[in-house]
Amino acid sequence: MEKRELLYEGKAKKVYATDDPQLLIVAYKDDATAFNGQKKGTITGKGVISNRMSNRLMARLEWAGVPTHFVEELSERETLVKRVTIVPLEVIVRNLAAGSFSQRYGVEEGVVFDRPTIEFSYKNDELGDPLLNSHHAVALKLATPEELETIQALSFRVNELLKEFWSQCGVTLVDFKLEFGRLTDGSIILADEISPDTCRLWDAKTGEKLDKDRFRRDLGGVEDAYAEVMRRLTEHDAQ
Ligand code: UDP
């Protein structure tokens, strides 16, 4: 499958058309941004890790019955995916308090919830991705109530599957962001990526951060952290 015109260039990825109108090629970059683009940098090798990790996790989710956009890994940075219309929502699932949840509600990072939480924000850079509830999403016509039910159920299912998988790798899945899209028949599938850019991953024993917070918070060792989670995933898959 050949790349055709560049359709979109985002913060971490480029998206190309292909000869098949139902398929796109995603190319992962090493560019990193945080705080709505205010902080910019490069994480060497990130594109390769995010591509591989996202594909392996999506393939696992597919086996477990979660529909995803993943079709085929084409190279270390490029993947063939199903073309969708993205639902303009960021869906965040949390198992432990961290990041904006800790700040907003004054809860110490690392507090474990009795059950996972879910929240939505409106994918809109100009507005700074504001938090919204499902009623707001319907009022704004971002999704129907039925679609939101599907998105919520799939997101919690993804959490259960990924939490278990990462725990087998000695990693605590703290929280993560998902995006969903619609196929031409209207069905909802998981899209975008699942990587250390979009998940908080802590070493289960030491609590060491193995994700993009190392970049956001200038903790150093960013490349090593990305390589370490990828190593654990690969080691697990080889067993
Ligand atoms: N996240 C993301 N993209 C965003 C915002 C958040 O991938 O635009 C991920 C982030 O990596 C974390 C989770 O969603 O794993 C929850 O992020 P949070 O709301 O705590 O925001 P942050 O503290 O990252 O600003």
Q: Which atom of ligand 1 is nearest to the CA of 98?
A: 20
103 lines ligand 1 (CB under 6 A): no
CA 177–ligand 1 middle distance (angstroms): 6
Q: What is the pTM of this model?
A: 0.97
* 208 and 91 inside one domain: yes
Q: Please report whether residue 46 resides in a domain.
A: yes
Tally of domains in the chain: 2
Q: Residue 13's domain spans which residues?
A: 3-82
Same domain flag for 56 and 95 = no
Q: CA distances (Å), 41 to each of 32, 141, 215, in order?
A: 5, 35, 8
Same domain, 53 and 70: yes
CA of 123 to the centre of ligand 1 (A): 12
Distance between CA atoms of 207 and 190, rounded to whole angstroms?
Answer: 29
CA distance 45 to 181: 27
Q: What sections of the chain are H helices per DSSP?
A: 46-63, 99-105, 134-139, 145-168, 213-216, 222-238
Query: Is the distance from CB of 146 to CB of 137 less than 8 angstroms?
Result: no
Q: Does position 239 have pLDDT exceeding 90, yes or no?
A: no
Task: Tell me how far the alpha carbon of residue 34 lies from the centroid of ligand 1, in angstroms.
Answer: 9
Average pLDDT over residues 34-51: 95
pLDDT band at 30 (very low <50, low <70, confident <90, very high): very high
Q: Could you tell me if 158 and 178 lie in one domain?
A: yes
Residue 1 has pLDDT above 90, yes or no: no
